[in-house]
């Protein structure tokens, strides 16, 4: 029996997948949902092709599904149902403490007949972020609430300096409430590193976004 992992491209979904694999779970697919309108991961702003490159760098097959706000749950179920038919036992998520998120995934997974697995659930956010950094993962800040986080951090690494900035600013360290989002470009899961060679910062609807214009895989 295999498992699948909900995948946004960011640090929490990546680290949850990593922890599940470390616990002996066989992850057969990464499952990524993108906006049908924008062809990007909602809130993160990461384009579909960059997620595809990420899956190649890791070496786990990707199932990418376009969704709409109105039909998200049904579209989620349709995507996962096709994998469940191949013997998937459960799905891994990167939730930490938002109960409404856990309630939703447990209900939907229950209706699909699979287990919802939450490796990071209930852990201290500082502990998670420090372990993520110390284990050798490299993540770039790709979006952030402009009322909370300064533009200078967009495109920079998630490191101890950023952690201290978040602590000093009284911002949730893992951005669990959407304060910021990330893209993981290297780490223990990766066979190849992703190199972002040309980027720009843009503002949209009160959020900073890192627009990735050119990128490649390094050997």
Pick the range with the lowest mean pLDDT from 31-45, 80-94, 105-119, 150-164. 31-45
Q: Which helix (H) or strand (E) element contains residue 150?
A: none
- pLDDT above 80 for 43: no
Question: Each residue of 130-167: pLDDT tens digit?
Answer: 999 999 999 999 999 999 999 999 999 999 999 999 99
Report pLDDT for 3.
98
Across 91-99, average pLDDT: 97
Report pLDDT for 86.
87
Report pLDDT for 44.
82
- Whole-number CA gyration radius for the chain: 16
Report pLDDT for 45.
85
Among 138, 143, 148, 157, smallest CA distance to 211 is for 143
Report pLDDT for 123.
98
According to DSSP, the β-strands at 180-186 and 193-204 are unpaired
Residue 44: CB atoms within 10 Å: 22
| CA 99 to centroid of chain Cα atoms | 18
Question: Each residue of 97-128: pLDDT tens digit?
Answer: 999 999 999 999 999 999 999 999 999 999 99
Q: Where exactly are the structural domains of the chain? A: 2-117, 137-218
Report pLDDT for 202.
95
Contact at 8 Å (CB) between 54 and 9?
Answer: yes
List, in order, residues 6 or more apart from 49 with CB less than 8 Å away: none
- C-alpha torsion 56→57→62→68, nearest 10: -110
137-218 topology per CATH:
putative n-type atp pyrophosphatase, domain 2 (3.90.1490)
Among 183, 163, 160, smallest CA distance to 173 is for 163
Among 45, 59, 16, smallest CA distance to 182 is for 45
Question: Each residue of 168-194: pLDDT tens digit?
Answer: 999 999 999 999 999 999 999 999 999
Under CATH, to which class is 2-117 assigned? alpha beta
Angstrom distance (rounded) from CA 200 to CA 77: 35
Report pLDDT for 56.
97
Distances (CA, A) of 117 to 16, 49, 157: 9, 27, 28
Task: Identify the three-state secondary structure at position 24.
Answer: coil
Task: Identify the three-state secondary structure at position 128.
Answer: helix
- pLDDT above 90 for 61: yes
Among 64, 54, 34, smallest CA distance to 140 is for 54
Across 43-55, average pLDDT: 92
Mean pLDDT of the chain: 96
**Any idea what the Cα angle at residue 79 is, between residues 77 and 84, rounded to 5°?**
80
Angstrom distance (rounded) from CA 48 to CA 200: 17
- pLDDT above 90 for 38: no
Note whether 2-117 and 137-218 share their fold: no
């Amino acid at each position: 029996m295999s498992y699948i992992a909900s995948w946004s491209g960011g640090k929490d979904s990546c680290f949850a997948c990593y922890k599940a694999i470390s616990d002996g779970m066989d992850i057969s697919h990464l499952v990524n949902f993108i906006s049908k309108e924008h062809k990007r991961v909602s809130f993160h702003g990461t384009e579909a092709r960059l997620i595809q490159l990420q899956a190649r760098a890791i070496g786990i097959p990707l199932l990418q599904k376009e969704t709409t706000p109105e039909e998200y749950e049904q579209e989620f179920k349709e995507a996962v149902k096709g994998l469940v038919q191949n013997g998937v036992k459960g799905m891994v998520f990167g939730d930490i403490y938002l109960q409404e998120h856990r309630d939703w995934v447990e209900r939907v997974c229950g209706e699909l007949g699979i287990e919802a697995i939450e490796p990071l659930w209930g852990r201290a956010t500082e502990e998670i972020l420090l372990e993520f950094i110390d284990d050798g993962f490299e993540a770039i800040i790709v979006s952030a609430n402009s009322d909370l986080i300064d533009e200078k951090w967009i495109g920079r690494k998630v490191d101890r300096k950023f952690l201290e900035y978040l602590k000093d600013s009284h911002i949730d360290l893992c951005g669990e409430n959407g304060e910021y989002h990330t893209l993981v470009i290297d780490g223990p899961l990766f066979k190849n590193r992703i190199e972002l060679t040309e980027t720009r910062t843009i503002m949209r609807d009160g959020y900073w976004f890192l627009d990735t214009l050119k990128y490649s895989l390094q050997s």
